[in-house]
Amino acid sequence: MGDSRTLASVERTVHPASTKWKDFTALIKIGIVNSNLITSFTGLWLAFVFTDGHFLQSLDTVFYALAGSSLIMAGSCALNNYIDRDIDHIMERTKKRPTVTGKITGSKTLIIGFSFIVVGLIFLFLTNIIAGILGVIGVFSYVVVYSMWAKRNYVTNTVIGSLPGAIPPLIGWAAVDPSLPTMAWMLFLLMFIWQPPHFYALAMRRVEEYRAASIPMLPVVKGFSVTKKHIMFWVALLLPIPFFMMSLGIPFVIFATALNIGWFIMGMMGYKKKDDVKWANGMFIYSLNYLTILFTAMVIFSVI
């Protein structure tokens, strides 16, 4: 009992008081939920546009799709936090998560995670069976395949984890049009290819933390030089994607290509600089802005 009180006292000292809302949003990784919700909405919106559907006349579908997507993402992230609670205290960016500080217990985390996933999947199945199945695939691939298996065992964990991260736009599209035409799969492919350079750059910035936690991220196992080559390889793979999205119009293709070239040139210009972490930081920031700008642009170009 004395040891427990001492530990609790240390935790209160190291981790200043936070609000329950901040703890909750940290548990569900609200940043990830919001960014994936943007891609899910884009898929939903474009499906309406390309099927000549009526957005305002289908608000029930819109609600079920977006609420369902958000809930399964939030629930999956909560379970990810539960799974990683034994290593999160080692890393600076994760050591204040409520599953580490004890602000939210393991049992509560499991209740929140599974409850959100169940309700979210019900919402998705209320749109149609394809959207629901995609939701199941997304949850299973993130929680089981990535979090419980690949993350701690394989250097390819980032690529494997890109599968669930690419499913949200498919879910959004399938809720309106379960036939999933080529454009829907281009959204999936775009998201899949975007994730490795984004997370490799993050891993370079946090390489010592990942090494301390024994997570076999690419820069930990292969070093910065190899990681930079992989980043540039994945960014280069993005270059042809806009040309398979001609139905959004030539102006969009030009805009998206400019974003892709900008990212590639930025990487090449700083490729030989000695400060690899500074290079990775710039690539990481660009990747964040890239995703938001590009998916917002798809919505805008689809209506002009």
Residue 60 φ/ψ, nearest 5 degrees:
-65, -45
* Residues 6+ away with beta carbon under 8 Å from 271: 228, 232, 279
| DSSP secondary structure string for all residues of the chain | -HHHHHHHHHHHHHS----HHHHHHHHTTHHHHHHHHHHHHHHHHHHHHHTT--SGGGHHHHHHHHHHHHHHHHHHHHHHHHHTTTTGGGSTTTTTSHHHHTSS-HHHHHHHHHHHHHHHHHHHHHH-HHHHHHHHHHHHIIIIIIIIIITTT-TTHHHHHHHHHHSHHHHHHHHH-TT--HHHHHHHHHHHHHHHHHHHHHHHHTHHHHHHTT---HHHHH-HHHHHHHHHHHHHHHTTGGGG-GGG-HHHHHHHHHHHHHHHHHHHHTTT-S-HHHHHHHHHHHHHHHHHHHHHHHHHHTT-
The mean pLDDT value of the chain amounts to 93
Radius of gyration for the alpha carbons in the chain, expressed in angstroms and rounded: 20
Does residue 5 carry a pLDDT above 60?
no
**CA–CA gap between residue 225 and residue 223 (Å, rounded):** 6
pLDDT of residue 1: 41
Q: Identify whether the C-beta of residue 46 lies closer than 8 Å to the C-beta of residue 171.
A: no
Domain contains 106: yes
Domain around 225: 22-301
> How many distinct structural domains can be found in the chain?
1
Residue 114 lies in a domain: yes
pLDDT in tens, 101-149: 999 999 999 999 999 999 999 999 999 999 999 999 999 999 999 999 9
> What backbone phi and psi angles, to 5 degrees, belong to 165?
-70, -20
Residue 60 maps to a domain: yes
Question: pLDDT (tens digit, 9 = 90+) per residue, 259-302?
Answer: 999 999 999 987 777 899 999 999 999 999 999 999 999 999 99
Which pLDDT score, from 0 to 100, does residue 173 have? 98
Domain assignment of residue 80, yes or no:
yes
CATH code, domain carrying 224 = 1.10.600
Q: Domain for residue 2, yes or no?
A: no
* pLDDT score for 17: 53
Indicate the burial class of 229 (C-beta count within 10 angstroms; 0-12, 13-18, 19 or more). Answer: exposed
59-96 per-position pLDDT tens digit: 999 999 999 999 999 999 999 999 999 999 898 888 88
Tell whether 202 is covered by a domain.
yes
- Domain contains 35: yes
Residue 192 and residue 291 in contact, taking contact as beta carbons nearer than 8 Å = no
Distance (Å, rounded) from C-alpha 88 to C-alpha 158? Answer: 17
